[in-house]
Amino acid sequence: MDSLILASASPRRHDLLSSLGLSFIIEANDGEERQDQVPPAIVEQLPAFDLGLASHPTLLAWRKAQAARDTNQQAVILAADTIVVIDRMILGKPRDPAHAYELLRRLAGRWHTVYTGVVVLPAASEQPLCELVAAHVHLAPLSDAEIWDYIATGEPMDKAGAYGVQGIGGRLVEEVQGSFTTVVGLPLPTTASLLSQAGIAIPYSVEQAWQRWRATLAKEPLCMQQSKC
């Protein structure tokens, strides 16, 4: 089997990919920060997204995968990028606790959309396999005290939208419509499909991987029971 590289430092993506029973190498990079021009052929392959090319999660994932390809010509490369959108505004990771409060206050009691772009580069190929998956999330109404108590845990500080649905932040989420693992940062069905297309044999089915991953959680968020993998 060709070697597999995960172009991400995210422990959440690591855990989800591991649940499929795969062996892989982690090689994080700053490819999403690059500003070099994107080849037209790549732009044509991107799934539809109406908030602009620069913020397209699948394009950002492609940039990460391409940065990894620069030093790994023979491996299959997997990359993903996740953004949170509300009122056509993209909410990134909080800069500081005050910014985390602003993000959570905007999301509290409302629906928002989480997009995860996934890209796989087959071995020795520059031709990407691309997908964009969306899930809709409803946060509970939150008091200022509840928001600050959550921020005090430190969990929001490295999460898009300032919450982690698979962790303590799952207590804030009332409902997820769509793929739960999209919200975590690596949609299992899409990932398994793209890796299979790239020639990677997947030891576990998506349903098996979903159950294996759920078993690693200290406590399941209630909203997980309403969601698909």
Catalytic residue positions? 81
* Nearest of 131, 136, 137 to residue 119 by alpha carbon: 131
Secondary structure of residue 8 in the 3-state scheme: coil
* Nearest of 224, 13, 21 to residue 118 by alpha carbon: 13
User: For the residues of 9-72, what is the DSSP string, one character each?
Assistant: --HHHHHHHHHTT---EE----GGG--PPPPHHHHHHSPP-TT-STT-HHHHHHHHHHHHHTT-
Please, what's the b/e burial string for 4-43 (b: 16 or more CB within 10 A of its CB; e: otherwise)?
Answer: bbbbbebebbebbbbbbebebeebebebbeeeeebeeebe
| Cβ neighbours, 10 Å, residue 51 | 14
- 142: tokens are 């939150």
Q: How many CA atoms lie within 13 A of 107 on its CB side?
A: 29
β-bridge mates for residue 83, sequence order: 115
- 14: tokens are 């690591």
